Chain A
Amino acid sequence: MRIELDRPRCEGHGLCEEAAPDLMHLDDDGELVIDIAEVDGAALDRARAAVRVCPVAALRLAERA
C-alpha cells in the first residue's frame, strides 16, 4: 500500500509521526514529510495507525498504482 497525503488538509498536529516515526516526520516548518510511502508488513500496520489518528483525515492508504 502507499501512504498519500492531502497536503492542504494537513494541519501538522503530528499524531501520525508519533504512531509511525520511521515512516514520516514533521520538518522544521511543521510540514509533514512522508519518508517511506510504500509500505507492507509491520510497516503497513504502523501506517494504518498513523492514518487513523489524524484528526483532519489528511492521510490515506491507497493501492499501489
Chain B
Amino acid sequence: MGNGIAGLTAADSLRAGGFDGELTMVGAETRPAYSRPALSKALLRSDTDLTSHELPPPDHGATELLGRTAVGLDADRRVLTLDDGTELEYDGLVIASGSRARRLGTGSDELVLRTLDDALALREKLSSRPDVVIVGGGPLGMEAASGALEAGCRVTVVTNEPPLERQLGPYLSSHITAAATARGLTLIITPGARVVDQDGRSRVELADGTIIDGEILLSAVGDIPNTEWLEGSGLADGGPLAVDSRGRLRPEIVAAGDVAAFPLAGANVRSPIWHSAIEQARVAAGALLHGDAAPELQAQPYFWTELFDLNIRVAGRTPLVGEPELVDGALDGPALLRWRHDDGTAAAVSVNYRIPIPRLRKLCD
C-alpha cells in the first residue's frame, strides 16, 4: 500500500530477494512514482527542465492500482479494502501510505508543497513573480523560499524558531540565515503566528495581530502520517505506525517510509526523509521474506538540502550542538565540518564541499 519511494523500494527489494509471487501496488496518485526531494529543490528553479523528479518506470511486475487509497484493513482475515470497494487478500502487506502536508487554515488558497501537482502549481505561480509568504522555517519552507527568491519574488518567511535550527542546530542555522537574508529574504521569527481567513483570503496573522500579506501563502509546517484508514485494525491509534527494528507490526505486516516509526534509542520515531524511506523499505521487505533472520535497521542518517546557494550534506545524528571542528576548507567558504556527540560518535557536514558520501560517513566514526 503506497507507491512512493518506500513502496517502490519494498517491491524492488522483494523481487531482488527472490519473491516471484503476485505483487499488487496501490497508489493514491495517478502518476508514477517520482522523486520527492526534487520538488522543493531542482523543480522549483525556473532554469531547470521538468524532468528532475522523474524516476525510471517500475519493473517489479506488479499489478498497479493507481488513483486508489485504502479505507480499511482486516488484519485477521488479511483483507485490505480500497476506496472503490475492492477487497484485496494478501499473504504479506507493506504499509507505505506516507504522509500528507499539515495545513494551518481552511482556505483553498493556502498552498502546500507535498506532491508533484503541488510543486508544478507553485512553479507556475512563481513565474509571475508574486509576493510570497511562507509559514515554516524547516528544510521545506526554506528550500521553497530559496526557489521563490531565485524566481524573482519578494519572500517573507514566518517561523517560530530560527531556520532549520531544530534539524541542524544553531551553528548551521545562523549560517543559512545569513545567506538567506543576504539574498533579500525577510525573516520573521515569532511564536504564535497563525493562518486566518480575512476577506475571503488566507493570511498570516502574528500574535500581536499584525497581518503579513502576500499574493501567495505557502505553509510548510510538517506532515501528518496517513494512518486514518487503519482505524479499527488494532494496528494504529491515530499516530504513526510503531514498528519493530525490522519494520514489522505483525509477522506478515510491515511498514516503511513517512508513515512508520522505527525504534531509535529507546523510542519509536519517524524519519520522514528520502534516504530513510529507502533504508526502511529494504529492511521491511527482508522481514517479510525472512522474518527474524532478516537484518535489523541499521540507520545511517543522511540528509541534504540546497538553499541560498548552499549545498549542505549531513551524515550522522542531528541536531548539531555547539561549535564545529573544521576538518577541511574554510568557515567562510566550502567547508567540511564535524561535530562530536557525547556518546563518542560524530556527525559530519559538507557545505559546498564535494566529497564522496562514504568518506563523509567515515568521519562519523
What residues of chain A have their CB less than 8 Å away from a CB belonging to chain B?
A: 9, 11-15, 17, 26-31, 45-46, 48-49, 51-57, 60-61
Which residue of chain B has the shortest Cβ distance to A49 in the bound complex? Answer: B12
Distance of A46 Cα from B38 Cα, bound (Å): 23
Contact indicator A57/B9 (Cβ below 8 Å): no
- The 15 listed contacts between A and B (C-beta, < 8 Å) are A11-B311, A12-B355, A13-B302, A14-B356, A28-B356, A30-B354, A30-B355, A49-B12, A52-B5, A52-B9, A52-B12, A55-B35, A55-B274, A57-B35, A61-B56
Q: Report the stretch among B47-55, B74-82, B122-130, B204-212 that lies at the interface.
A: B47-55
Q: How far is A12 from B350 in the complex, measured between Cα atoms in Å? A: 12
**Contact present for B42 and A56 (CB under 8 Å):** yes
Please list the residues of chain B having a beta carbon within 8 angstroms of any beta carbon in chain A.
Answer: 5, 8-9, 12-13, 15-16, 35, 37-38, 42, 51-56, 59, 274-275, 278, 302, 304, 311, 313, 354-359
Chain A neighbourhood of B313, CB < 8 A: 13
Q: What is the count of residue pairs linking A and B with beta-carbon distances less than 8 angstroms?
A: 72
Q: Which 10 A-B pairs have the closest CB atoms?
A: A14-B357, A26-B356, A30-B354, A55-B37, A30-B356, A55-B35, A57-B54, A30-B355, A51-B56, A49-B12
Given that A45-B15, A57-B38, A57-B51 are contacting pairs, would A52 and B356 also be in contact in the complex, using a CB cutoff of 8 Å? no
Residues of A contacting B13 in the complex (Cβ-Cβ under 8 angstroms): 49
| Residues of chain A within 8 A of B9, CB atoms compared | 49, 52-53
Q: Which of these, A14, A45, A57, contacts B53 with CB under 8 Å? A: A57
Residue of A nearest to B12 (CB): A49
Beta-carbon contact of A29 and B354 below 8 Å: yes
A60: chain B residues at CB < 8 Å are 56
Given contacts A30-B359, A57-B53, 10 further A-B contacts (CB under 8 A): A45-B15, A48-B59, A49-B9, A49-B16, A52-B8, A54-B35, A55-B35, A56-B52, A57-B38, A57-B55
Residues of chain A within 8 A of B275, CB atoms compared: 15
Q: How far is the CB of B80 from chain A (nearest CB, A)?
A: 24
Contacts of B56 in A (CB 8 A): 48, 51-52, 60-61
Distance in angstroms between the alpha carbons of A55 and B306 in the assembled complex: 13
Q: Chain B residues near A53 (CB, 8 Å)?
A: 5, 9, 278
- Contact between chains at B12 and A26 (CB < 8 Å): no
User: Given the known A-B contacts A15-B275, A57-B35, are A52 and B354 also in contact in the complex, defined by CB atoms under 8 Å?
Assistant: no
Q: Once the chains bind, are B356 and A46 in contact (CB under 8 Å)? A: no
- Shortest distance between the CB of A7 and any CB in chain B (Å): 13
